[in-house]
Amino acid sequence: MSKPVAIATWRFGLPGVKEAGEALGAGGSALDAVERGIRTAELDPEVASVGYGGYPNAAGVVQTDAAIHDGRTHGFGAVAALEGVRTPISVARRVMERCPHSMLAGAGAREFAQAQGFALEELLTEGMRRNYEEWLRNRDLERTGGIASHDTIGLVALDAHGDLCSGCSTSGLRYKSPGRVGDSPLSGCGLYCDNAVGGAAATGNGDDILRFAPCALIVEFMRSGAHTQEACRMAVERIMTNVSMRGKKEADINFIALRKDGEVGVAATRAEFHFAVWTPETGAQLHVIQRACPEQEPESEGALRT
């Protein structure tokens, strides 16, 4: 038997790990815990970058990316540029469980969701519509935040049977080009999971993240003996010392990871990166880590503090 653990990205991951923790505490699977936790953020219109109430693209349409990676079976399901479904993570799980393919995109993903019984609804809330219309009027990227606004709920869980699962869901970059797909639905990039080792998930600028398959790297670093924290830091370092990233001041690349023995790790290029952890002893708690980007603050090893 293992001690169950769940870890999620951002402050808005806190209700997600709480929900995941309830599933895990009741003896549920990591797969169910990840889906339940991520749905919590997707269904909350106050979470501006995930599911219902997420940011629209440049055409005013909310297009979401989501994926789930089951460490037990190495099963993988993903949706990209999906429109009209409040819970993309559940569609991703259906892709994994009921579709001969691993990823569906655009209209095909929506048709699959509809055929599976998911309701098609408007995901753009009134507040988001007003912001979008203001942006359309002046296209002032600086003043309106432009594409600087984006976040992903990434969640990794370990259940009492020792099984692991990783998942993530996002509406991607605000006012992105229609059809743009980020790192989140791509195996090895936005998430990765292997029951023999651990799981990882990413958040930040997916156009940078997806070029390096960092979540697969993190799992491989752990397989080679790195501690979870060190594996995350090494992935940040690998990207930031790459020739195409050198000197880039605005990099936004952040990882969470969970090892098979329950050890968690986090590394971020953000000055402060919030994440949430649930264990049976502590319940759901919010933590913050400081920048672990070697080019920006070499002295920081990204020590965990609550």
- Whole-angstrom Cα distance, residue 77 to residue 111? 16
Q: Does 269 bind ligand ASP (CB under 6 A)?
A: no
Per CB under 6 A, which region of 56-64, 133-141, 204-212, 258-266 contacts ligand ASP?
204-212
Residue 108, classed as helix, strand or coil, is helix
Per CB under 6 A, which region of 66-74, 179-187, 228-236, 275-283 contacts ligand ASP?
179-187
Distant-in-sequence, close-in-space partners of 23: CB < 8 Å, separation ≥ 6: 29, 32, 33, 36, 37
Q: How many residues does the chain have?
A: 306
Q: Which of 124, 147, 156, 173 binds ligand ASP (CB under 6 A)?
A: 173
Q: Does 42 bind ligand ASP (CB under 6 A)?
A: no
What's the closest the beta carbon of residue 67 comes to ligand ASP, in angstroms? 11
Q: Which of 152, 203, 228, 279 is catalytic?
A: 152
Q: Does 187 bind ligand ASP (CB under 6 A)?
A: no
Q: Which of 13, 28, 53, 206 binds ligand ASP (CB under 6 A)?
A: 206
Q: Which of 15, 71, 167, 182 binds ligand ASP (CB under 6 A)?
A: 182
Q: Does 183 bind ligand ASP (CB under 6 A)?
A: yes
Locate the DSSP E strands across the chain: 5-9, 63-70, 75-83, 103-105, 153-158, 164-170, 191-194, 198-204, 253-259, 264-268, 272-279, 283-290, 304-305
Distant-in-sequence, close-in-space partners of 215: CB < 8 Å, separation ≥ 6: 166, 188, 189, 190, 191, 192, 200, 201, 202, 235, 255
- Does the active-site annotation cover 170? no
What's the closest the beta carbon of residue 235 comes to ligand ASP, in angstroms? 14
Distant-in-sequence, close-in-space partners of 187: CB < 8 Å, separation ≥ 6: 67, 69, 76, 78, 102, 216
Q: Give the residue carrying structure tokens 């020590």.
A: 303
Q: Does 151 bind ligand ASP (CB under 6 A)?
A: yes
What's the closest the beta carbon of residue 273 comes to ligand ASP, in angstroms? 11
Per CB under 6 A, which region of 124-132, 145-153, 191-199, 260-268 contacts ligand ASP?
145-153
Give me the residues that bind ligand ASP (CB under 6 A), please.
150-152, 170, 172-173, 182-184, 203-206, 209
**Catalytic site positions:** 152
